[in-house]
Structure 1
Amino acid sequence: MSGATGTAAGVATGADVELVVLLDDDGTPIGTFDKALVHGFDTPLHLAFSCYGFDADGRMLLTRRSLAKRTWPGVWTNACCGHPQPGEDPADAVARRVRTELGVEPRDIRLVLPDFRYRAVDAGGMVEHEQCPVFFADLPTDLAPDPDEVVSWVWVEPADFLATAERAPYLLSPWSVLQAAEFRAAGLLEALPEGLLDSR
């Protein structure tokens, strides 16, 4: 992967206590749970989201997860992941977490994979189990990431991301690899740069 790179710096300010929305197998909310405690060796299905960010030239932002993350520390992944609060609109959750994690204001947030769901287990046995709608957003390039969330980042061509996911999936988070396959099948990234520029 090639592109402009950076490294997060500064002092983390911590985060407020958050709740995640628990779901049954049909995706119906059935309760809430403390986000700090929900991930373990038998993580219940819960609501989340993934966001992929793009600059004015159509490059895609990939981030490397902080080494302090409970699941998949240090792994390269999409621009931002998070969990909507109970009753929170998912697009509002995307905007909130982009501001918190990346320090910038997202624009043109749009839902592209509404039904994405996955379960994955990392090398230490920690489980992610999420109903995880996927969004695209337009991002500025002057990022100021929270080092508790993002340790480094890179802007890449979407084709490079797709090629990495296909040829070297072990370099990326499992959810981004699965999402890349769906992007490829739907032709989403091929049409993205023109669509983004036309939407402004």
Structure 2
Amino acid sequence: MNLPSPTDEWVQLVDDQDRPTGRAEKLDAHRRALLHRAFSVFVFDATGRLLLQRRADSKYHSGGLWTNTCCGHPRPDQPLVDEARRRLREEMGFDCPLIPVGSLHYRLPVIGELTEHEFDHLLCGIHDGNPQPDPLEASAWRWLAWPALLAEVAQAPDTFTPWLREILAHRQTELETWVHAHCAD
């Protein structure tokens, strides 16, 4: 498989306590399954519906799968929340305040020789407008109530990214707690 090389994209390598240990080119980190820092953004509307995106088919992995609002990797030595907001603007065309709500460490094969081996920080925010996604990042989007999301993931797990399924399996409580505290039921 011939994958594009994002040669100017670097990730922060970390240990299992999220302490920096170096840096690597993003695609190389995924090929060699190097543990690196990542973030997963979950943006809800005021009623508690989650904004999902379908990854563009042209993405070098997990194209066409539904996932949380935005995902990415902070540039080495840059503030995590600032980098997550930058990526949210780039992918989904809007910005909103983001609050860290937890983290998890996972190692998940995605395609071929690539592995998501990440110390993933979860961030939540509220936005009530419609996104204007970059079509090279997201081919579709939708707002989905939390119970409907859980039901869809249970019924058709292969239509969702592996990291979203991992987050829901291990950090569902933290996300639900945040939604109940910040959104109307």
Give the TM interval when normalised to the shorter protein: 0.7 to 0.9
User: Displacement of 1:190 after TM fit?
Assistant: 6.0
- Aligned partners of 1:104 and 1:140 also within 8 Å: no
Give the TM-score taking structure 1 as reference length: 0.80
- Aligned partners of 1:71 and 1:127 also within 8 Å: no
Amino acid at match of 1:29: P
Q: Are 1:140 and 2:128 counterparts?
A: yes
User: Displacement of 1:121 after TM fit?
Assistant: 1.0
Amino acid at match of 2:66: W
Q: Are 1:195 and 2:149 counterparts?
A: no
**Which of 2, 7, 22 lines up with 2:13 in the alignment?**
22
Give, in whole Å, the separation in 1 of the partners of 2:127 and 2:58. Answer: 25
Gaps of 5+ in 1: 1-14
Alignment of 1:110-129 (within 5 A): 110-114=99-103, 116-129=104-117
Q: Which residue pairs with 2:40 in the alignment?
A: 50
Q: How many residue pairs align between the two structures?
A: 179
1:189 aligns to what SS in structure 2? helix
Alignment of 1:28-67 (within 5 A): 28-40=19-31, 42-67=32-57
**Which of 135, 145, 164 lines up with 1:157 in the alignment?**
145
Amino acid at match of 1:111: P
Q: Which residue pairs with 2:3 in the alignment?
A: none
**Which of 53, 58, 63 lines up with 1:73 in the alignment?**
63
User: Displacement of 1:47 after TM fit?
Assistant: 0.6
Give, in whole Å, the separation in 1 of the partners of 2:7 and 2:126. Answer: 26
Gaps of 5+ in 2: 1-5
**Which of 64, 83, 90 lines up with 2:80 in the alignment?**
90
Q: Which residue pairs with 1:106 in the alignment?
A: 96
Compared CA separation, residues 188 and 83, structure 1 to 2 (3 A) = closer
1:125-168 CA-partner distances (Å, limit 9, x unpaired): 42111110111111233211111111111110011112222333
User: Displacement of 1:19 after TM fit?
Assistant: 1.7
Percentage of matched positions with identical amino acids: 34
User: Displacement of 1:55 after TM fit?
Assistant: 1.2
Give the TM-score taking structure 2 as reference length: 0.86
1:29-53 CA-partner distances (Å, limit 9, x unpaired): 111122254322x321111110111
- Aligned partners of 2:61 and 2:111 also within 8 Å: no
Amino acid at match of 1:130: E
Give, in whole Å, the separation in 2 of the partners of 1:188 and 1:22. Answer: 26
